Each structure stands twice: as C-alpha cells, then as structure tokens.
Amino acid sequence: MAATTTEAEAGSDFRERFGRNFERAAQAPGRVNLIGEHTDYNGGFVLPTAIPQKTRAEVARRSDRRVRAASAEADRGRISEFVLGEETRRGAWIDYIQGVTAELARRGLAVPGFDLWIQSAVPLGSGLSSSAALEVSVLRALRDLAGFPLDDVTLALVGQRAENDLVGAPVGIMDQMASSLADVGVALFLDTRSLASERIPIPRGAGLLVVDSGVRHDHASGDYRRRRAECEDAARRLGVRELRDLTVERRPDLERLPEPLRRRARHVVTENERVIEASAALRRSDLPLLGRLFDASHESQRDDFEVSVPAVDAIVAAARAEPGVFGARLTGGGFGGSVVVLAGADGDADRGPRIVERAARAGAPAARLVVVSGEKG
C-alpha cells in the first residue's frame, strides 16, 4: 500500500522536530467493520477489514525517562511531553501514547524514554478507528525499538487497555484486533470472547465504499457508555454472563425485559447471528445475501440499538438507490460516523460520487467518500 510520504520526507519531518534521525518506524491501518456492531463488548462476533489508509509512527530512544511526541494531524505538529511513570489523563491526543506506555509498564516491560513522530492518513472521528491505528502503530514501533516479546493479539489488548484506562473510552476489542491482525482485501472473523480469528478473503467481485457522514461521534461521551451499560443490565436481568450467551432456545426470554433493554438485547442477539451468516456468505461469495445482511444490520442499529442519526440514514438510503449496490449500513460506534456500502467491483468509478451527491441533497450535506476498494472489471 502506498505510504502517504516517502521515507526521505518522513525522516526529515522527524529530524526537523527532534534534531536527529528516527531509529524505528511502523505502520498500522484503520479498519472498517463489515458487520457485527456493538457485539464486541457483549462477548460476541465481529467481521472487520483493514482500510488502505494507515498511521505511521517513527521513534528514537532517549537516554532519560521522557516521552516527547508530535503528530502532523494534531495540535499543528507541536510537541507534547510526559515523564514515564507519571502518566495522567489530559483530555488530549497524547493520552493515547500515555495509555500505551502506562499499560506496557503495568505488564512489567521496561519502557525507555523516546521521541515519537506520527503521521496518519486515517480519517479522524469517522468511525474508522484512527485511535486503534495510532495505538497499534506506536506499539509496533516500540516493540521493535525495545525488543518487547509481544504477539499481535497481546498488542491489541494493550491498545484496548490504554484506551479504556487512560483515555477513558470503554471500547471493546474489535478495533485494535482489526488494526493489529487484518489486511486490506481480507475480512477478519473474530470471536471477541476467545479472541480466535479466521481470515476470510473478500471476493474479487466485491467492492466496498465508505462514506463519512461528517457527523462526529465521541466514544468518551455518554451515549456509547450508556448502550454498554444497557447491555450489561439486560444480561444481568436474564441471568447470563454476557448477551453472547443468550442461546436461540432462550430467545423468548427477551420479551420479559423492559424497554429499551428488550430492543438493545435483541439487536445484539440478532447481530451475532448476522455475523455468522455473513461470514458464511463471504466464504461462498454470496454478495446478494451479504448485502441483505448489511441492510438488516442497519435497520437493527437504527430501530433497536438507536445509534444511527438522520445524516447516516440518508447516506444508507442514497446508496441503496444505486444500481449495483447490494447493501449499506452504519459502521463503527455510531451517533454519526460512516456508512459501509457493498457493491459489485464493476469499475463504476462514479458510483461513490453519485451516492454522496444524492445523500447531500437528502439530509447529509457533509457526506464525503473516504474509502473505495475492490477490483475493477
């Protein structure tokens, strides 16, 4: 995948900030979730894939206990600093880095001081996991720099913990696992309880478009947290460890739950089933079925889980009105963010712009195309 800058340019950015060359560099991609939304913190299944856009981290060791970090995308490239062992939340982007070093230390790893330069092509706040790409790219660079014995799954767990603890966002494990283990053109079927995963190639005939609504989400804010608490409450009332454990035979029990818990739990239970079906559809290259599952997932998120917004619904409707589109759904945490569209890989380069234009007229004025993938012809 083409990097956003050449090595030479990237190197000079680091040198400009820190007056020397970087020692190690690593990248990690953003992700788009194909299906399986709000299932990861319920012990369920997800099916993300990597997007072509990546985050790149360059690091060089320091001889003291300081971390000095700057990002081309944040704070106009200004350097932020902290001392290892004194990590505390500031409500700024540096919290992701502080979270990573604090968690590595908690695991008994001797983190050296370092200088860090970040560049990212992953759109921020679009539901495409710019934060997981940041955590995983920095962790990969540090693993290399300090020789930490961390496998890719552990790397994802460190990233999630950084986000849960220091950043204060109660996210599940999907994004970090996708950034750490997924590739473009391959979907990652993941059991978020066991962390067992299977790589399923995305068929050649499938094209994916991602349209950002331009409406921003904020995971640290109350809505995501509230949904998570509702799911935990529903599981408690039903006497199961997590909603993942609600077997088909026990489905009628959902009816005993008060609203909105009944609908929240119904979304999670049916979404888990859709992920299983979607994985089978993907293996068989059954794109029409996969598209219908996208559509059903969107309706469930909109009506039962209530995480969609009008601009997102307008994009989904605009996509579905396009010939060659199999299905479309809200992807990511919701309350804004992006829509993933499954279409044929027929080389129709105007499809994305047409969807954006129609959506803009129908209530999504800030819509823009952020990812296009799939082979032509």
Stretch touching ligand GLA by CB under 6 A, among 133-141, 168-176, 195-203, 259-267: 168-176
Nearer of residues 171 and 209 to ligand GLA, judged by Cβ:
171
Q: Is residue 80 a contact partner of residue 92, using CB atoms and an 8 Å limit?
A: yes
Q: Is residue 133 a contact partner of residue 121, using CB atoms and an 8 Å limit?
A: no
User: What are residue 296's phi and psi, to 5 degrees?
Assistant: -65, -40
Can you tell me the distance from the alpha carbon of 344 to that of 164, in angstroms, rounded to the nearest whole number?
Answer: 38
How many residues touch ligand GLA (CB under 6 A)? 10
* Per CB under 6 A, 162 contacts ligand GLA: no
Can you tell me the distance from the alpha carbon of 111 to that of 117, in angstroms, rounded to the nearest whole number?
Answer: 17
13, 95, 175, 304: the active-site residue: 175
Give the SS3 label for residue 20. coil
* Per CB under 6 A, 242 contacts ligand GLA: no
* Per CB under 6 A, 40 contacts ligand GLA: yes
Whether 165 is a known active-site residue: answer no
* Per CB under 6 A, 333 contacts ligand GLA: yes
Helix pair angle (152-162, 94-106), 10° resolution:
120
* Per CB under 6 A, 304 contacts ligand GLA: no
Least separation, in Å, of the C-beta of 252 and ligand GLA?
A: 26
Stretch touching ligand GLA by CB under 6 A, among 38-46, 72-80, 110-118, 359-367: 38-46
Least separation, in Å, of the C-beta of 175 and ligand GLA?
A: 5
Residue 14 CA to its chain's centroid (Å): 27
Paired sense of beta strands 186-191 and 206-212, if any: unpaired
Stretch touching ligand GLA by CB under 6 A, among 37-45, 48-56, 143-151, 207-215: 37-45
Q: Is residue 369 a contact partner of residue 319, using CB atoms and an 8 Å limit?
A: no
* Contact set with ligand GLA (CB under 6 A): 37-38, 40-41, 171-172, 174-175, 332-333
* Active-site residue list: 175
